[in-house]
Amino acid sequence: MESQTTILVVMLIYISLLMLWGIFQGRSVKTSDDYAIAGRSLPGWVAALSERATGESSWALLGLPGAAYAMGLTEIWTAVGCVAGIVTAWWLLAWRLRHKADEVNATTFTSFIAKSHPESARWIRIVSSSSIVFFFFFYVGAQFLGGGKTLNVLFDINPKLGLLITAMVIIPYTIYGGFKSVVYTDVVQALVMIIALIAGPIVGIIYIAETPGLYAHSIGSALHMAGPSFTSLTGAASGFSLGVVIVGGFSWFFGYLGGQPQLSTRFMAIRDAKQAKRARNVGVLWTLIAYLGALSIGWIGIAIFGPEGTATALTDREFVMPKVLLEIFPPAIAALLITGAVAAMISTADSLLILSSTELSENLLKPSSKKLSSLGTGKNLLFSRIITALLAVVALALAYYTGDQTYIFTLVSYVWAGIGGTFSVVILLTLFWKRYHGKTVVVTIVYGILFTIIWINTGMEEKIITSRIMTFATTLVVAVLATLIFKRGKEG
């Protein structure tokens, strides 16, 4: 009871300061452009830390360690795919997106695509924003679910109550300050997260080596004792199954190639080219450290609790990160580091909310209504805040009523395919192929979204191969063929 009180006090102080910081940053938000993209004036290091905190949501601090705990070394392929995608995005795409967004004066992800292909701008806005808002309901729900799971581990409260508490932390400052509040709270969260992912593995390795009575006393022996599938990079698979394992893990790579709107808007908001280079260096270094730490925590969990199926194993694999930190640290330190997991959920949920809000208001509602499009500055900002609040309520309801038996890893995987795989194709061809045009952008988006939904709902995800690679590959083929077949339309 005493340790729970300590943890609660630490977390309440952290969360309270975080909310105040977000509200403080939101005071300078005066226009809808400030609300949507912080006036495109972010310093590089701020954009990088915000992008990383947003990208590494509850799936990376709960989902990825949980998968490493359940699968062993096989999950290295997921980490390799993600790291390769992140590094590629920062080196190849970030500065190009920033430059192009400035050139076309885009304030949202969809407006960037639409203004780059003005001949089909109206239909691009409709299909793009509709797809993003639909899929991101599930993504926001995954973050609320992650908060519920973490608070359940810490205080043994009902996970549904936990997700309600998580939502109540996120929603107020997000509604008030928009993108700027979100970005500057992300900076704090990214720092806490990286400390947790450095300190956790270091102390954990020492702890399992010196503590008697554990399942194993090193990561290597834990994996060996768990079975041959845990020590194999391929999960002991061979032949076609071997290829499926490797491709399935690496397939996360494709979602990072500009196709995640919440990450691409960070690139778009960087102040200038010089700051973009600084952002790249910070983002790449953070990523390399974070992924090694996340995997290590999962493997340390095997050494402490034993693999799934043993008497002392965790009841939910995605409890491994908070459980390990509570085991190896004093309550006060554990609370501060576990706040890193909560921070990850907050940093992604608030980003997704503000992105969905601006997509819905700026690209669907305002263009369809003369009254809304002619709102003054103050009313325009108020309207954006109302839309953010409504979307938050819908996402919360979705998580509350569907989240009991759902893994965060699975929810995020589906979004990574539908949005990441589809829009990565759109962004890559927009930036690198002049022949690509508006009509085929619409075809690309519609095909990619429909393919993902059909592929998953017909069971092909489990029977054949993940939609994360199939969506990207088939959508790329369709986009190229459509570009060669259809003629470019007239602008306007």
DSSP string, 172-184: HHHHHHHHHHHHH
pLDDT tens-digit readout, 346-359: 667 777 777 777 77
Q: What is the pLDDT of residues 185-219, one digit of tens each?
A: 788 888 888 888 899 999 999 999 999 989 999 99
pLDDT, residue 56, reads 74
Contacts of residues 243-249 at CB distance under 8 Å and 24 or more positions apart, as own/partner, are: 244/464, 244/465, 245/74, 245/77, 246/77, 247/465, 247/466, 247/469, 248/77, 248/465, 248/466, 248/468, 248/469, 249/74, 249/75, 249/76, 249/77, 249/78, 249/79, 249/80, 249/81
**139 pLDDT band (50/70/90 cuts)?**
confident
- pLDDT for 488: 75
Q: Which of 104-113, 345-354, 362-371, 372-381 has the highest mean pLDDT?
A: 104-113
* Cα–Cα distance measured from residue 355 to residue 328, given in angstroms and rounded to the nearest whole number: 37
- What pLDDT is recorded for position 373? 57
**What band does 314 get if pLDDT is binned at 50, 70 and 90?**
confident
Task: Name the DSSP letter for residue 238.
Answer: -
Q: How far is CA 269 from CA 101, 295, 372, in A?
A: 9, 31, 25
Q: Where are the alpha helices (DSSP H) in 56-120?
A: 58, 64-71, 76-88, 94-104, 109-116
Interatomic CA distance for residues 192 and 333, integer angstroms: 12
Query: Taking 90 as the threshold, does the pLDDT of residue 431 lie above it?
Result: yes
- φ/ψ of residue 465, rounded to 5: -160, 160
In the block, residue with structure tokens 């509602």: 365
pLDDT tens-digit readout, 437-469: 989 999 999 999 999 888 888 878 777 788 888
Residue 32 — very low, low, confident or very high, per pLDDT cuts 50/70/90? Answer: low
| pLDDT score, position 492 | 47
According to the model, what pLDDT value does residue 445 have? 94
Number of neighbours of residue 476 by Cβ within 10 angstroms: 19
The angle subtended at Cα 319 by Cα 311 and Cα 295, nearest 5°, is 100
Going by pLDDT thresholds of 50, 70 and 90, the confidence category of residue 417 is: confident
Look at residue 39 and tell me whether its pLDDT is greater than 60.
Answer: no
Question: Is pLDDT at 238 greater than 60 in this prediction?
Answer: no
**Whole-number Å distance between alpha carbons of 365 and 381:** 14
Please state which of the ranges 20-29, 97-106, 224-233, 357-366 shows the lowest mean pLDDT.
20-29
**Alpha carbons 428 and 436: distance in angstroms, whole number:** 10
Asked if residue 419 lies in contact with residue 260, where contact means CB atoms within 8 angstroms, the answer is yes
Dihedral angle of Cα 165, 168, 170, 171, to the nearest 10 degrees: 150
**Which pLDDT does position 156 carry in this prediction?**
77
Tell me the helix, strand and coil percentages in the chain, rounded to 5.
85, 0, 15
More confident residue, 293 or 13: 293
The candidate with the shortest Cα–Cα distance to 118, out of 135, 104, 136, 128, is: 104
pLDDT surpasses 80 at 288: yes
> Is the four-CA dihedral 73, 405, 138, 180 of positive or negative sign?
negative
DSSP secondary structure letter of residue 316: S
Task: Tell me what percent of the residues of the chain surpass a pLDDT of 70.
Answer: 81
Q: What is the reported pLDDT for 369?
A: 62
pTM: 0.79
In angstroms, the CA 426 to CA 238 distance is 35
Q: Give me the pLDDT at residue 34, please.
A: 58
pLDDT of residue 256: 86
- Which residues, in sequence order, are bridge partners of residue 270? 42
**In sequence order, which residues have a C-beta less than 8 Å from that of residue 193 and are 6 or more positions away?**
53, 56, 61, 290, 340, 343, 344
Using alpha carbons, select from 71, 321, 52 the residue that is nearest to residue 186: 52
pLDDT of residue 340: 66
Burial class (CB in 10 A: 0-12, 13-18, 19+), 345: buried
Q: Helix 377-402 vs helix 121-155: angle between axes, to the nearest 10 degrees?
A: 50
Work out the number of other CB atoms within 10 angstroms of the CB of residue 332: 13
**41-67 average pLDDT score:** 81
Secondary structure of residue 375 in the 3-state scheme: coil
SS3 56: coil
How far is it, in rounded angstroms, from Cα 416 to Cα 158?
28
Q: Residue 196: its pLDDT value, please? A: 87
Q: Give mean pLDDT, residues 332-337.
A: 83
Distance CA 66, CA 404 (A): 17
**Mean pLDDT value across residues 380-395:** 74
Check residue 250 and give left, alpha or beta (phi > 0: left; psi -120 to 50: alpha): alpha
Which of 19-23, 72-76, 198-202, 230-234 is predicted most confidently? 198-202
Distance CA 128, CA 359 (A): 9
pLDDT at 198: 92
Contact partners, residue 55, CB within 8 Å, separation at least 6: 86, 256, 260, 262, 263, 348
| CATH code given to domain 2-405 | 1.20.1730.10
Residue 429, pLDDT > 90, answer: yes
CA 160 to chain centre: 21
